[in-house]
Structure 1
C-alpha cells in the first residue's frame, strides 16, 4: 500500500493577516490542518492511500494594500486520477461567499502544476505550484495584495 502525502507552505504577502474563510476536502485527511490565520508563513499536511490520494481547497480572506476586503482560493490534488494539480483564484471577498465546489473541482482537474491568477480590480494575485519532492508532493503558495 502506498500513501500519498502533500505538504504545503502558505505565504502571506498582503497588507495584514489572512483568516480562513472556507475550505473543502474532496479526499484525504489532515495530518496538520490549514492554519486558521496566516500572518507571514504557515503550513499544512494531508495524506491518504493511493490511488484515491489527496484533493482539497481553502479560501483565505483579508485586506489588500488599498484596505479592500479580498479573498484568495487555493485548490490542489495528487491522485491517480488527476496526477498533481493546482488551481487558484483571487479577487473581491464577495466572489467567494457562495463557492460552487463542483466548479472549483472541475477547474482543478483541468489545471496544471502551476497557477498564477491576477485580479486587476483588486491588484491581488497568487503564485502557486505543486511538485514532487522526495516521494511526496509539496505545495507552495504566495498570496499577494
Structure 2
C-alpha cells in the first residue's frame, strides 16, 4: 500500500485537489448559485408552498452547477483510470443524465409537485452523486477485464 502511494503520489494529489474543488462548490453553493430551493429543502417543506423563483435563472444555475460538478467528476475519473474510452463514456453519460433529470425536474416543478421526488431529482442535479456510482462501477469493470 505504501509503495502504491509513493508510486502514485501525483495521481493521489490530483484526485485530492479535484475532490477539494467539489467540496468548495458545496461549501460556497449559496454564494455561487441562484437556488431558492436551498433554504426551502432545509426546512420542513412537506406542507409548505414552493418559494418564488425566476425560471430562467434557476435552470441556468442548475446547468452551471451540474456542468462544474460534471467537469470535475470527469477529471477525477480520467485521473483515476487513465482510459480515454471511460472518460468519453462518462462525458456522454453525464449529458444524457442531465437531459433526463432536468426534464424530470421541470415536469415535477410545473405539473406534479411531489416535493420528495423533486428534492431527490434536484439532489442528483446539484451534487456529484454519479461520481460515487461511476468509480466503483468502472473499477469493477477494470477488475473483470
Fold equivalence (TM over 0.5): no
Structure label with greater radius of gyration: 2
Name the one with the larger strand percent.
1
More helix by share: 2
TM-score by length of 2: 0.29
